[in-house]
Amino acid sequence: MREGARERILGRVRTALGRMPGEGAPEPPAYELVVRGPGPGPERVRLFVERFEALAGKAHMVGSAAEAGAKAREIVAGRSVVAVEHEVVRAAGVMEWDGDVRHGFATGEELRRACAECAVGITSTSYALADTGTLVAMAGPGEPRLASLLPPVHIALVPEAVILAGIEELLLRVPEPDEGTSSMVFITGPSRTADIEQILVRGVHGPGEIHAIVIV
């Protein structure tokens, strides 16, 4: 039945366009992806921080992984934490904290429960985009999808080196994102809605509070 649908739809599309089965396509229109804004360095970091904060994210600058850990701990303030298995998070010493810090899950179900129960999710980030203040989360062993999504507070540890100028630079660097991950998510500020009378409310389904601890 549905196999029939495929043939019928493709058949109608070809007839409408006057094309033959198996016909190729010319190259898509050419245009350049232009990378704008400051190159790597303090200016770029400053732009990221500025844009991230303009969206009501909270940015913090630290000088080392250890300092990042201390800053994260201060933000967590004793609440329950789910931490991802990422070298940056490990280097920050998050796994060694005492208190309710959950990590290293044996099953997906355990991870999911931890994400649903904990107050804070601590992750790293694959990339960040300076001009929009965006975190780019590519799912992988050290980057589960739910850790930056289910807890009400999200803390991302952002090494300076992963901050790119913008989406153009990202797509030049990773032209085929599907090759490395099944999920690439751009996170630009805290979860929000304006569905009731256009009044801005944060934290509707995802985290209402989001921190970027930039390690320079």
Q: Smallest distance from the beta carbon of 46 to another protein, in angstroms?
A: 17
Closest CB to another protein among 19 and 99? 19
**Sequence letter at residue 199:** I
**Residue 102 near residue 118 (C-beta atoms within 8 A):** yes
| Residue length of the chain | 216
Q: Quick one: tokens of 27?
A: 């190259």
Number of residues that bind another protein (CB under 8 A): 76
Closest CB to another protein among 33 and 66? 33
Residue from 77, 96, 98, 198 touching another protein (CB under 8 A): that is 198
Closest CB to another protein among 10 and 66? 10
**Residue 212 near residue 135 (C-beta atoms within 8 A):** yes
Stretch 91-120 residues interacting with another protein (CB under 8 A)? 105, 108, 111-112, 116
Give the DSSP letter string of 84-146: ---HHHHHTTGGG-SSSEE---SSHHHHHHHHHH-SEEEE--SEEETTTTEEEEE-BTTB-SS
Closest CB to another protein among 98 and 179? 179
The DSSP letter of residue 151 is S
Binding mask 7-46 for another protein (x = CB under 8 A): -xxx-xxxxxx-x-x-xxxx-xx-x-xx------------
Stretch 167-196 residues interacting with another protein (CB under 8 A)? 167-168, 171-172, 175-178, 181-196
Q: Smallest distance from the beta carbon of 73 to another protein, in angstroms?
A: 23
Count of CB atoms situated within 10 Å of the CB of 179 = 7
Stretch 135-164 residues interacting with another protein (CB under 8 A)? 139-141, 143-146, 149-150
